[in-house]
Amino acid sequence: MIRTIFPMSTEYDSNLPLVVRGIGVQNNQEHISRPSGFPYYHWAHCTKGEGTLIIGANTYKISEGMGFFFQPGVPHEYYSTKEPWQINWIIFDGSALPQLLIPLGLEKWSVLMIPNFQTIYLLLKDISICLSSESPNKSIEASALLYQFLVKLKNSNPPGNKDANERYKQLIPVISYMENNYNTYSSLEKMAAIIGVTSYHLCRLFKQAFKTSPFKYLIKLRIQKAKEFLVETPQMSIKDISEKVGYQDTSYFCTIFKAHEGITPSEFKRIHRSI
């Protein structure tokens, strides 16, 4: 169970890149209106019931499996429309947030569907348990858990997106095929036929779900597999690894690898063998 906690903050804690300022549960969320916004970054998600969120000229129905985020100073209002409207929430700040939120895709405010709902809940629960402990390092540990939590939110999707999550589910057979055949050539037509769509539609699905094309996704998958071979089987030559992940031309493989990783396969192997 998530407890409501407002941790005491020292000057040392305030210098952490991510700082949890409060966490808790509202078993039946009351009407909230903040014309001047809130002083901290704020995340809340619905576990039961239904409510309405108003941000600017936008109105959203927030039901189970949905959440909302806003940065400090963003005017907003929310209230229940189907009771009990149960909300889990966390408030936080920290010097790392302005830069961290950009790659995570969290705007000044966001409304999200949460496909990994159980994971999100368990991370909040872990933060609550951490802050309730007697550990002298609980602020640091909570900061690390908050980072994990924010990264997991990246997998959530705007509700108007016809759920990128639904598109991902549609692509699972293709992703599975790629995972098992990443080292062989497969035409766009062959991959599209796996889920019974045209090549054009497959490209659209990939763009909507992953913001990339099927072949660029395959290249990233090959690079990922190559990195695993470089670390886990260091006795393998670069040429053998190149062929194992589908590149017969070792020079081309090294060029592709460096374009993605910023270093050559040999440099990657050397760096990670010393870990």
Residue 16 sits in the same domain as residue 146 = yes
6 domain-assigned: no
Residues 30 and 133 in one domain: yes
Nearest CA among 197, 201, 199 for reference residue 189? 199
pLDDT tens digits, 229-255: 998 888 999 999 999 999 999 999 999
Residue 140 lies in a domain: yes
Q: Clarify whether residues 19 and 145 are in a common domain.
A: yes
List the Cα angle 106/67/2 in 5-degree steps. 110
Q: How confident is the model at residue 170 (pLDDT cuts 50, 70, 90)?
A: confident
Range in 156-170, 177-191, 217-231, 239-253 with the lowest mean pLDDT: 156-170
Residue 42 belongs to domain with CATH number? 2.60.120.280
Verify that 20 and 147 share a domain, yes or no.
yes
Which of 43-47, 105-109, 218-222 bottoms out in mean pLDDT, i.e. has the lowest?
Answer: 105-109
Summary mean pLDDT of the chain: 89
* Confidence band, pLDDT 50/70/90 cuts, at residue 219: very high
Tally of domains within the chain = 2
| Three-class SS state of 49 | strand
> What is the span of the domain harbouring residue 26?
11-153
pLDDT tens sequence across 135-162:
888 999 999 999 999 998 887 766 555 5
Per-residue tokens: 71: 């940065």
Among the candidates 127, 153, 179, a domain finishes at 153
Give the pLDDT confidence of 65-110 residue by residue, as tens digits.
899 999 999 999 999 999 999 999 999 999 999 989 888 888 899 9
Q: Is residue 125 part of a domain?
A: yes
Would strands 58-63 and 76-93 be described as parallel, antiparallel, or unpaired?
Answer: unpaired
Same domain for 149 and 61? Answer: yes
* pLDDT for res 271: 79
Averaged pLDDT for residues 33-42 = 95
* 275 band by pLDDT with thresholds 50, 70 and 90: very low
Say if 26 falls within a structural domain: yes
What is the distance of C-alpha 136 from the center of its chain? 29
Please tell me whether residues 130 and 86 are part of one structural domain.
yes
| Average pLDDT of span 119-137 | 91
Domain termination residue (choose one: 153, 177, 210): 153
Q: Which residues of 49-62 are buried (b: 16+ CB within 10 A; e: fewer)?
A: bebbbebeeeebeb
pLDDT at 209 over 80: no
Separation in Å, CA 186 to CA 48, 156, 179, 193: 45, 30, 12, 11
Q: Among residues 153, 180, 195, which one ends one of the domains?
A: 153
Q: Is 1 part of any domain?
A: no
Over residues 203-231, the mean pLDDT reads 89
- Confidence label for 210 from pLDDT (cuts 50, 70 and 90): confident
